[in-house]
Structure 1
């Protein structure tokens, strides 16, 4: 175990000033750091890559797990054993020679463990479900400083809670996950001019929602909208335009993929079309998430359903006339995401039909203004809102309402009361430790 300056991470919009930073190399370092914090009444924060930083970190002990980045693939059992700081890129690379893949998200530089604890909505989500559903076992350190192997047999309540409940019950030092057979896929995106006749944002969104309703569960898709700045380093077709894109991932044949996406291409002239067959190791190119650190705020609204009118209202509020740049992504849910997992977990809102994700760069924009815009978006969707997405709340760590349904939240809060009564890891899911 070593102490170090506060680590720089992907999220640069919030200050990170702990009292002590611990660079953990293995599980015993984590145990020592947790015991140190507990003895002094200090909060514990955990940092892997910094993508999902919930907000400013002031004081306490920050455990950096980025050195704990091991990956061990078992091709016979189709599993991966991953360390607490491992990125999805490392897991994808290690699994690919065996024709296997994890249920990773769109960005390969995201920490695999943190992503999975929040549920994990991935590239192939409608076909294979949430990443949390694939967890076989976890190694953790609880607030009492005790290392625990958490599985359905050894610690069934913690096993339920950690898969979808987030970070508030323990520090995870390692995780075993199942892999799926996905050596290649058909996917990419089709981008339209969101202000042109025939391909305007509202029209594309309406056509997308109609198309999504016809898809088999083997197709995972989303719609994204973004006003690109007029900068010379951007591709000319996108520069200065309001672009609406549909992203697709499908593990079936390329020929069938071409047939399935024909209605998208029929919407109108495309600014760009990258739909193609690709190795799974190129799956990150479907969304093209920015690879560089930057400052941002984000939130996600989980919906029972969404129609063209609702989508058009979201795009109107967040489009070129919005008070700040906002990236909108509408994820089509359902399919395997709606199925109960083999072993029950804390992932909520499986009945949801869509997720509306909002993300705003904090380049001269204040958080209060961003929140006001997001509240207006949520208000317009209110009749269909089930809650918020734990995975896609960036910078809003002081707001925990809506991450879980009431029953799940009470159960999680009861476990906090039992395992972390002093709130060493950050409190009790928006209700009192007793679950009231």
Structure 2
């Protein structure tokens, strides 16, 4: 491999690194510290041509390829084989205010798009964490911060530049290659290495939002109150509730340290006056440890969830639910609540609204008629995966009668590498077979398999 790496290094502008080299570990590192890629070769791409060269190199040798920007959502890590392409140096970002779009290379983060769009009175259809890469989030679908109003983020994509397994850099649109365009928007990283994406912006400069932290001495009561409250909401309000023991981390406000609390997150595009009225029932639920809900410029939306910035280990997964059953929620609290065998966070995201409405620009995102998503997470420092996963499994088992699918964006190595059966659960049945046909056409040898892997159809 060493001699081959030298040949590849002559073709690319970025670094080409082997295990044992001084920069290898830094290059492969990402946000997920619990498990990381350990490739035979890592290429730090600086431009699309670097990505093309790396993919051609891997294809000629039938080596698996993984692509990483921030490393938040690793599903299947390369383990001593394959080529890892890191894209964090690819930072070109262009806002077109007249068209209401942004074009972002594969290393651009959502926070950068928010900042560049704001002077034009525009905002992206981003998620809760501004430190996440634009491309990976959109490939997974994207249950956005305002998703009940906007729908899935991937439905707003207009074009993608992608290097497919044959080493060809394609500009993919609904007109040029409709099946690939459909598959890329919600089908994950199965079909190539995306080097840039063009997506729509929305006219928005402010919202009413923030978070309520309530003491969760009676967590089931809070979950049931949240369930009742969400049944009354307009589509302009998107929210979630997270139950967790609050660690003494820098991003966690000091009044919460060591408390078991409910963290309710609010994002509403209506007036502050209407927002106050809608949030009032939550404020009446009990003692408030912290209340930051207010009118804010869109550039401050990262304050709503206060997602951690420092890399750390975490394991978890999710289920999409048609309803929140009170008895099942009681079991979830018993299994994963404050008395759990391992520390867990339980998050419920309210879906419905535009998430569930048919879209003419619909991509491959799976179950769209779910009313809620429930995620269960455990930090790797708190418990090893072997201890956490059986607890998570009990949560999923309790919710199984109401489960209609899973969200691709929120699968965090909960059960190790995903089996083909688990991958099927991420998509509608007919969509999964269509995705396999697209995979067979563009990646018949399954080079791009270090993801939520969709298997090519067998050759005759």
TM-score (norm 2): 0.90
Cα distance, 1:344 vs structure 2: 2.8
Q: Secondary structure at the match of 2:334?
A: helix
**1:189: which partner in 2?**
211
1:297 counterpart residue number: 315
Of 38, 60, 77, the match for 2:99: 77
| SS of the residue 1:381 aligns to | helix
Asked whether the 8 Å contact 1:297–1:359 carries over to 2, the reply is yes
Residue 69 of structure 2 is aligned to residue 51 of structure 1: no
Q: 2:438 pairs with 415, 423, 428, which one?
A: 415
Q: Deviations over 1:390-413 (max 9, x none)?
A: 101112561151211222111111
Q: 1:427 to 1:268 in 2, by over 3 A?
A: closer
Tell me how far 1:316 sits from its aligned partner: 2.5
Q: Determine the structure 2 residue equivalent to 1:36.
A: 57
Question: What is the SS of the residue equivalent to 2:28?
Answer: coil
Q: How many angstroms apart in 2 are the aligned matches of 1:435 and 1:315?
A: 44
Counterpart of 2:292 (choices 274, 284, 299) is 274
> 2:456 matched to 1:433?
yes
The answer to whether structure 1 residue 360 and structure 2 residue 378 are counterparts is yes
Corresponding residue to 2:178 among 147, 152, 156:
156
Partner residue, 2:194: 172
Q: Give the SS at the match of 2:255.
A: coil
Within the candidate set 155, 159, 165, 1:137 is matched to 159
Q: Which moved further from structure 2: 77-86 or 237-246?
A: 237-246
Correspondence 1:327-338 to 2 at 5 A: 327-338=345-356
1:55-112 deviation line (CA, Å, top 9, x unaligned): 4321200000001111100111110000011110111110011111111111111011
Is residue 416–residue 428 contact of structure 1 (8 Å, CA) maintained in 2? Answer: no
Of 54-63 and 293-302, the range deviating more from structure 2: 54-63
SS in structure 2 at match of 1:11 = coil
- Equivalent-residue separation in structure 1 for 2:64 and 2:409 (angstroms): 22
Number of residue-to-residue matches in the alignment: 432
How far apart, in 2, do the equivalents of 1:26 and 1:430 lie?
26
5+ residue gaps in structure 2?
1-11, 18-23
CA distance in 2, matches of 1:429, 1:89: 26
* Cα drift, residue 364 of structure 1: 5.5
* Pairing partner for 1:424 from 431, 437, 447: 447
Match of 1:239 in 2: 257
Conserved in 1, the CA contact under 8 Å of 2:437 and 2:456?
Answer: yes
For structure 1, the 5+ residue unaligned runs are none
Moved more, 114-123 or 391-400: 391-400
Counterpart Cα distance in 1 of 2:32 and 2:250? 25
Which residue of 368, 381, 391 maps to 1:373? Answer: 391
Q: What TM-score, normalized by structure 1, do the two folds share?
A: 0.95
Q: 1:427 to 1:287 in 2, by over 3 A?
A: closer
The CA RMSD measured in Å over matched residues stands at: 1.9
CA contact (8 A) 2:45 2:51 kept: yes
Native 8 Å contact 1:132 1:163 kept in 2: yes
Deviation string 1:151-210 (CA, Å, 9 cap, x unpaired) is: 010000000100000000111011000001120100111111111xxxx21111111110
1:294 shift after superposition? 0.4
Summarize the Cα distance change of 1:245–1:165 in structure 2 as closer, same or farther, 3 Å threshold.
same
- Cα shift at 1:323: 1.7
Q: Is this contact kept in 1: 2:29–2:36, CA < 8 A?
A: no
1:399 corresponding residue in structure 2 = 418
Alpha-carbon spacing, 1:231–1:221, altered in 2? closer, same or farther (3 Å): closer
Which stretch shows the higher mean deviation, 90-99 or 318-327? 318-327
Cα 1:233/1:69, change in 2 over 3 Å = closer
Q: 2:234 matched to which residue of 1?
A: 216
Secondary structure of the residue aligned to 1:189 is: strand
Between the aligned partners of 1:73 and 1:230, the Cα distance in structure 2 is 38
1:431 deviation in Å?
6.4
Closer, same or farther: CA 342–38 of 1 in aligned 2, 3 Å: same
The Cα of 1:119 is off from its aligned counterpart by 0.3
2:21 is aligned to: none
State the SS of the aligned residue for 2:183.
helix
Cα displacement (A) at 1:305 = 1.4
Cα distance, 1:385–1:233 mapped onto 2, change above 3 Å: closer
Give SS of 1:272's match: strand
Residues 233 and 51 (structure 1), Cα distance of their counterparts in 2 relative to 1, 3 Å cut = closer
Q: 1:147 to 1:231 in 2, by over 3 A?
A: closer
Counterpart in 2 of 1:19? 40
Q: Which residue of 2 aligns with 1:206?
A: 224
Tell me how far apart the structure 2 counterparts of residues 264 and 348 of structure 1 sit (CA, whole Å): 31
